[in-house]
Structure 1
């Protein structure tokens, strides 16, 4: 069964390389392919549909239904794939920071899942579920060193037990999240997932967010606004006034099937009206 899951996953990410092995070269290719072929999306919590994290549900969603997901779904499923291949990996929890500001007493809880992979006693940070600024390759867990990727540059700052990850965006370092290396367990992720998927203050219950990387940038849909980010170009933004336009984008740009999504038309119409009244 594990081999079947792995083979189906490799087909999903358009794997055209040699058989995967538990080494850095394989991990780098897996992360690139995953972030390019499986979108970050929150259709389920946005529509009030239960977000399930058990292995069978994740396999069905990613491999059979051809869907994406948000951080807990992506990271737990990717962790399972890495373990099938033979990687030593654990999940940890991060706290996302908004507006590039870290405060002493944060209002937001730790609700972001990250993977830490041990390759020959060297630790790598692996994140496949952080939307538009998701790293497209493993990052050496080494502070105060700028690490270049095929997309943004990243760096870690360490303060005692906490790491802070920042990305270089338009010549400015933007703080993404802080985390530590304390191992978290499935029950911890379930608790954080429940808040993220159901709480009225959660970003993901209030807004539609879909992101996919591509070789020269990434696409980001937030509610009725599609932004195309491309290297060495200004972002291009397009606003939609019809729910059918948003559905076309979900299907054509993000390659998402739209069946078994009750209430989608109504929610899309609702966010269009909300954005119209803000304008």
Structure 2
């Protein structure tokens, strides 16, 4: 084994030692098995999605959140806070590794609404998870702040539809320049006046591994760049068994399991803070401005 491999193993071992599995599982209310199999992967994935909200309060203050295990534990596990993709998927990857899974961090291009895959940078973290005894890996992602997010992981298989916790997804291949195959995650979305709905691309990725230093750079960019969507307005999401809640700026949207949605405007700071605490279970830092 090379010196580099020894060093990488040492870093991962140190991160794992700073991660508290019992506290994490209590936070997401997981009381099931603790073993490296498909059932545990799906169950913990769904429990995380429903247990820890997605929020950008640090980025809204132009602060890149720490991705160090003790800081992730303090913020996402031991306090009434959530985080965005790098925080969620870093924390989730630590849990999976402690449970016996092998995890590869991937960097993806969010392509919702994009004309071309290449027009978007790789600013999203997703995970590739190897499950002992399974013929192939799974795509897992507890940090995608959108209605098309995975609630359960899906096998890395192209062209098949997968249903999990009421949502429908599939993976397809896309043509692009480069030696690596491009995968695209698509979510099935209802369309007004169309009974069958349609497939909508969510993000695109290759299977090239990305490491902690890569995500530290992009985390700083997304969390501090004034042009980043996360530094411009409030963005908080919560998933429950029967609804999806999103507070984007002053607009609160509740989407039910059948696809029907209801919107209402948040009028002032006090109401915004109350909604965060009561609906999202997020406690905003004292003194910060939530609304533009």
Same fold (TM over 0.5): yes
- On the 8 A contact 1:151/1:217 being kept in 2, the answer is no
Shift of 1:174: 1.1
Tell me: CA distance 1:267–1:39, structure 2 relative to 1, closer, same or farther (3 Å).
Answer: closer
Q: Look up the match of 2:11.
A: none
The Cα of 1:25 is off from its aligned counterpart by 0.3
Matching residue of 2:70: 56
**Secondary structure of 1:228's partner?**
strand
Q: 2:123 aligns with which of 107, 111, 129?
A: 111
Equivalence for 1:144 = 159
Tell me the TM-score normalised to structure 2 length.
0.86
- Work out the CA distance in 2 between the residues paired with 1:87 and 1:251: 34
Q: Give 1:58-207 correspondences, 5 Å limit.
A: 58-99=72-113, 101-103=114-116, 105-106=118-119, 108-119=120-131, 120=133, 121-132=135-146, 133-159=148-174, 161-170=181-190, 171-207=197-233
- Pairing of 1:19-58 with structure 2 (within 5 A): 20-58=34-72
**Structure 1 residue 141 displacement after superposition:** 0.6
C-alpha distance 200-3 of structure 1, shift in aligned 2 (>3 A)? closer
CA deviation after TM superposition for structure 1 residue 262, in Å: 5.1
Where do 5+ consecutive residues of structure 2 fail to align? 1-15, 175-179, 191-196
C-alpha distance in 2 between matches for 1:267 and 1:2: 35
Question: What is the CA-CA distance between 1:169 and the residue it aligns to?
Answer: 0.8
SS at match of 1:26: helix
Q: Which consecutive residues of structure 1, in runs of 5 or more, have no partner in the other structure?
A: 272-279
When structure 1 is superposed on structure 2, of 52-61 and 151-160 the one drifting more is: 151-160
CA RMSD of aligned residues (A): 1.7
> Could you tell me how far 1:234 is from its partner in structure 2?
2.1
Corresponding position of 1:9: 24
State the alpha-carbon separation in 1 of the partners of residues 63 and 110 from structure 2.
23
Q: 1:16, CA displacement in angstroms?
A: 2.6
- Contact 1:41–1:69 (CA<8 Å) still a contact in 2? yes
Deviation, structure 1 residue 4: 7.4
- Tell me how far apart the structure 1 counterparts of residues 218 and 63 of structure 2 sit (CA, whole Å): 16
Secondary structure of 2:137's counterpart equals strand
The ranges of structure 1 where at least 4 consecutive aligned residues each deviate by more than 6 angstroms after the TM superposition are: none
Q: TM-score, normalised by structure 1?
A: 0.89
* SS class of match (1:65): coil
Distance 2:69 2:161 in 1: 35
- Secondary structure, counterpart of 1:122 in structure 2: coil
- Report the secondary structure of 1:137's partner residue: coil
Is the 8 Å Cα contact of residues 42 and 210 (structure 1) preserved in structure 2?
yes
